[in-house]
Amino acid sequence: MSTIYEALLRIEELYDCKSIADTANLLGMPKNTFYDNRIKAKNDFNKIKELETEKNPIKKELLKKAISNSKQKHYSNALYHQFIELAIKDNLNLNWVFNGNLPIHNSSEEKVAKIVQKHYIKESITEDTVAIPYFSDIKASAGNGYINEENEEPDFIVLPKNMIKGKNINALKVDGDSMAPNIKPDSIIFVDLSKKKLKNASVYVVRYEDEVYIKRLEELEDYILLRSDNIAYNTITAKKEDVFIIGQVIDSLSLGNIE
């Protein structure tokens, strides 16, 4: 696998990006955030190239450690996620994105991410993909305080393995714009059902007064604040015992890029 920086250069060449702003816009990232991640990716690339030519054994060992520490953060790099999003949107071949191997685009039958019915799972997944249960009606599927397969027979979203981390992940379709612009209407959110411990400012799917909400939570002494990212919506103040955390939202994707 080539580096994130090399993948970035391939994408910039393919889309004829002439500036930082061009690439940031292509990847849907704030310009400053993209610039910071681009610098990190380039630094990692330079360390690898330096290691290839370094003769001094002590310096070589230090470079190896630096690269090893960097690789541990490889998939947390925001660029990686945005590359996957772009590949899903434009049906780019991930083997080209990350390794430079042709063809650049997948065939129309072979997509990076797709929604499939349960009985098509076996023929849809490979060693490089994972199938995540997908519920299109959040109120029906999570209305009892947990995502219940008895309420709705799920389809599955087939995604690259490295895109979503965790074993107990479900996907839900977002209804409404209360978490925009960070989670857009008709997006798909990925919920880690094992993460029920509240961390302030993180986003969760919760049940409160027989309704299911996607909110950013803040814990006070006796209350929990259910905040929306969209300032047009009011904050809900709820007693702790009245809020049931279904799971933490760990990622989201535009539904239009998959269906």
More confident residue, 133 or 141: 133
Q: Residue 91 class from Cβ within 10 Å (0-12 exposed, 13-18 middle, 19+ buried)?
A: middle
Residue whose entry in the numeric block shows the structure tokens 């209407």: 185
| Per-residue confidence (pLDDT) for residue 76, from 0 to 100 | 47
* Contact call for residues 225 and 217 (beta carbons, < 8 A): yes
Any idea which residue has 């978490």 for tokens?
Answer: 179
HSE, CB side, 13 Å, CA atoms: give it for residue 118. 7
Quote the tokens at residue 224.
């929990």
pLDDT tier at 73 (50, 70, 90 boundaries)?
low
Is the pLDDT higher at 155 or at 76? 155
pTM of the model: 0.72
Find all residues with CB under 8 Å of 135, minimum gap 6, and list them. 141, 142, 147, 152, 154, 170, 171, 172, 173
Of all residues in the chain, what percent carry a pLDDT higher than 70?
83
Q: Which of 111-115, 121-125, 249-253 has the lowest mean pLDDT?
A: 121-125
Residues present in the chain in total? 259
By 3-state DSSP, what share of the chain in percent is helix, strand and coil, each rounded to 5?
A: 40, 25, 35
Tell me how far apart the alpha carbons of residues 197 and 179 are, in angstroms, rounded to a whole number: 20
- State pLDDT tens for residues 49-69: 887 786 787 777 776 776 666
- Kindly state the DSSP code that residue 105 receives in the 8-state scheme: B
CA distance 157 to 127: 15
Domains of the chain by start residue, with CATH = 4-99 (no CATH), 114-257 (2.10.109.10)
Residue 217 phi/psi, 5-degree rounding, is: -100, 145
Mean residue pLDDT of the chain comes to 83
